[in-house]
Structure 1
Amino acid sequence: MLVYPTYFSPIIHFTALANSSSVTFEVEDNYQKQTYRTRCYIYGANGRQLLNVPILQANSKQRTKDVLLDNSTSWQQQHIKSMASAYKSSPFYEFYEDELIDLLLKKHKYLLDLNLDCQQFIFDNLPLDIQTNKSIEFHKDYPAEADFRFLVDAKSNRSYKLNEYTQVFSDKRGFIMNLSILDLLFMEGPNAINYLENQNIEWI
């Protein structure tokens, strides 16, 4: 299957990956705005909370792999603080906290490198045993049954029905669908991979 590497991808992204034996990361594309490359959503005390990754100015003629992160701000520390605030009372946050902080404080130069490391962090901790490759050239057309690049679109009107699981604030605000994979990992821990493998998604 073919996907874009994104920033702590939505659960639906990993639902697709968990049911595949291999994945190719699209790394030869041009940059697109409004995607999960530069954002993820967690469950904060006030509901769905955006964590945004700042980049230096980029346009649609620029390769995504050349897009630079804007490290002039302390966005990494802000994300760490937001994640801790949201999930410090979750069952499994403390088991992943140190590794997560190390990843974010690595001060990546390129957006793509950050996103690939985020994917690997999740692969290692689910764990998800899957063969990974990177694309060597961009193809607009790809077999539909294997092309999951559409999952990168943060403004997509597609909706998916995922099974509910307990979330930190769900007793107060209800279940929020398709948050970052971190939400599932921090709440379900080793059971997260079973959850992903048992989702029944109609992709078409």
Structure 2
Amino acid sequence: MEKGAVFPLFYLPNVEFFKTLKTYKEDDVLIEKLEHYPKQTFRNRAIIACPNGKLMLTVPVKKGDKKRVAYKDKRISNDDNWQHVHWLSLEASYRNSAYFEFYEDVFKPFYHKPYHFLFDFNIELLDVILSALKMPVTYNITSEYEKYGEEIIDFREDFDWRKPSEYVNKPYYQVFEDKIGAQNNLSIVDLLFNQGPQSKSFF
């Protein structure tokens, strides 16, 4: 394999994730599917801006597994109406943004159609976001879990929400900026809803 990178798959990834993905989009890009599902990561979390500051959206996952589960097999817990809550949060945060209505019909189905596996939900979202960004990326999904040599940059343990990132995105107008100040490196939907087709120029 030629040079490239292997990426984790997140829920509504942040701007830094897409900046990094853009850097490698001409190389071999792999999306990890078979890792043991790691807890407390962006794989089921996203951070948006709301009137009171940052808001973390978390996709609930099934608990009680007796052994470590592959990401591809990690089930979403639909006991609570989390999709409804997430969509209401997105509406409350971005209904007044310049491009929410432009993308509304693209994202809304993800919060009404039932999903059972987190990986399936996230990979479909990733494709929709890449299309919205007009950022074509040809990627392959891993068929086995492996350690890679120097020719493949491994980002699977990067983009940790618990660790401060040095990445700073280019400033752009945000709905609640006057109230809570500019928020850096939020979920890509914050950038999309505020800047629309120009989003890619901000990372």
Query: Do the two structures share a fold, i.e. TM-score over 0.5?
Result: yes
- In structure 1, what is the Cα distance between the partners aligned to 2:97 and 2:136? 25
Matched with 1:13 is 17
Q: Does 1:30 align with 2:36?
A: yes
- In structure 1, what is the Cα distance between the partners aligned to 2:126 and 2:201? 18
Q: Any idea what the Cα deviations from partners look like across 1:3-55, whole Å, max 9, x if unmatched? A: 01110001100111122224210001001111001110110010000111001
Are 1:27 and 1:134, in contact at CA under 8 Å, matched by a contact in 2?
Answer: yes
Task: Indicate the larger mover: 156-165 or 167-176.
Answer: 156-165
Aligned residue identity for 2:30: T
Q: Does 1:192 align with 2:196?
A: no
1:145 deviates by 6.3
Change (3 A) 1:82 1:59: farther
- Structure 1 length-normalised TM: 0.90
- In structure 1, what is the Cα distance between the partners aligned to 2:36 and 2:151? 20
Matched with 2:106 is 99
1:151 deviates by 2.9
Are 2:97 and 2:193, in contact at CA under 8 Å, matched by a contact in 1?
Answer: yes
1:173 deviates by 1.3
SS of equivalent to 1:146: strand
RMSD over aligned CA atoms reads: 1.7
Match of 1:53 among 56, 59, 65: 59
Q: Any idea what the Cα deviations from partners look like across 1:130-189, whole Å, max 9, x if unmatched? A: 111101111234438622223342223433122211111111211111110000010110
Structure 2 unaligned runs (5+)?
none
- In structure 2, what is the Cα distance between the partners aligned to 1:16 and 1:60? 32
Matched with 2:46 is 40
Q: Does 1:159 align with 2:163?
A: no
- In structure 2, what is the Cα distance between the partners aligned to 1:140 and 1:154? 23
Structure 1 unaligned runs (5+)?
197-204
Q: May I ask how many residue pairs the two structures share in their alignment?
A: 196
Instruction: Quote the sequence identity (%).
Output: 32
- In structure 2, what is the Cα distance between the partners aligned to 1:8 and 1:168? 18
Change (3 A) 1:142 1:52: farther
1:118 deviates by 1.4
Q: Does 1:62 align with 2:69?
A: yes
